[in-house]
Amino acid sequence: MLKQFIEALGKVGGQAAEVATVREAAAYIAGHVTGTLLLPSQPSLERVALAVELETAGVKVIKESWREHAASANAGVTGVNFALADTGTVVLDSTVEAVRLATTLPELHFALLDPGKILVDSLAAIPYLRGFHERAPRNYLAYITGPSRTADIERVLTIGVHGPRQLHVLLLPGLSTDYYEL
């Protein structure tokens, strides 16, 4: 399933990287970021102290007042609730506004996924989709499949329009087993 996910993600222009530790993840991110980075509060990423690792690696991390910094940020980092293997999709509960800001405005989006949380396809995701709706009264849920794209001029596929130009999915084992946790 992991192999299928990585392959599908590659086909839609996303990049997958397998990392063994949070430090490796932070190093990977640091190697790509050229400006500030939005880091919304998320349980899984807080548990592994990603912010500290990123700062140690020299990244300027925005940990609050995201709206103020959103327009000028170069990257956003989020966890992933779970992924879909057949289409290379990552599913993010984006009800918290900072998650939306971090995944819409910056040019780079880094998504940290526990490779244990991959479902076969969108049909298998329906119980979780319903679960989100049962757990919270209001929801903003995102299925993200590759970077933003357009073919609106002469049908020529161009990657990166209004949303991120790059989507990096970092596969970090042991990050989270909870499908409802970002």
Partner 1 sequence: MSRERNRNYRQRVDEALASPRLQQALHSFGDAYVVARQNAFAGLDFEAMRSEIGSMKDRVREQRHELVAEFTRNAEAAGAKVFLARTADEANRYIAELAAAQGVKKVVKSKSMASEETHLNRTLEASGIETLETDLGEWIIQLAGQRPSHMVMPAIHMFRDEVATLFSKVTGQPEADDIPHLVKVAREQLRQGYFEAEMGISGANMAIAETGGIALITNEGNARLATTLPKVHVALVGLEKLVPTLEDATKVMRILPRNATGQLLTSYVTWIRGAVPCGEDDKELHIILLDNGRSALAESPQCRDALRCIKCGACANVCPVYQTVGGHVFGHIYISAIGVILTAFFHGLENAADLVKACIGCRACVAVCPSDIDLEGIILHLREVLGEEEGVGAGKALVFKHIMRNRKLFHSMIRAASLLQKPVTRGERSIRHLPLFFSSLTEWRTLPAIADKPLRDSWKSLPQKVQSPRYRVAFFAGCLNDFVYPEMGNDLVKVLNRLDVEVLFPKEQNCCGVPALYSGDRETAVALAEQNITAMLADQPDFVVTTCPTCTMSLQRDFIELLKDNPVWAEKARQLAEITIDVSRFIVDKLDGKTVFAEDPVGEKVTYHDSCHLKRGAGVWEQPRTLLAGSGREVVEMAHSDRCCGFGGSYSFTSHPDIAKHILNDKVKDIEATGASCVAMDCPGCIMQIRGGLEKQEKPVRAKHTIELLAESLK
**For the chain, how long is the longest CA-to-CA vector?**
47
Q: Judged by CB under 8 A, does residue 149 bind partner 1?
A: yes
Strand partners, 99: none
Q: Judged by CB under 8 A, does residue 1 bind partner 1?
A: no
Residues in 78-137 at the binding interface with partner 1, rule: CB under 8 A: 86-87, 89, 95-97, 100-101, 103-105, 122-123, 125-126, 129-130, 133, 137
Instruction: Report the C-alpha gap between 146 and 14 in whole angstroms.
Output: 5
Rounded to the nearest whole angstrom, what is the least distance from the CB of residue 162 to partner 1 in the complex? 4
Instruction: Report the C-alpha gap between 57 and 33 in whole angstroms.
Output: 11
Cβ pair 61, 86 in contact under 8 A:
no
Question: What phi, psi does 65 have (nearest 5°)?
Answer: 45, 50
Total chain residues near partner 1 (CB under 8 A): 48
Q: Which residues bind partner 1 (CB under 8 A)?
A: 8, 12, 67, 71, 86-87, 89, 95-97, 100-101, 103-105, 122-123, 125-126, 129-130, 133, 137-156, 158, 160-164
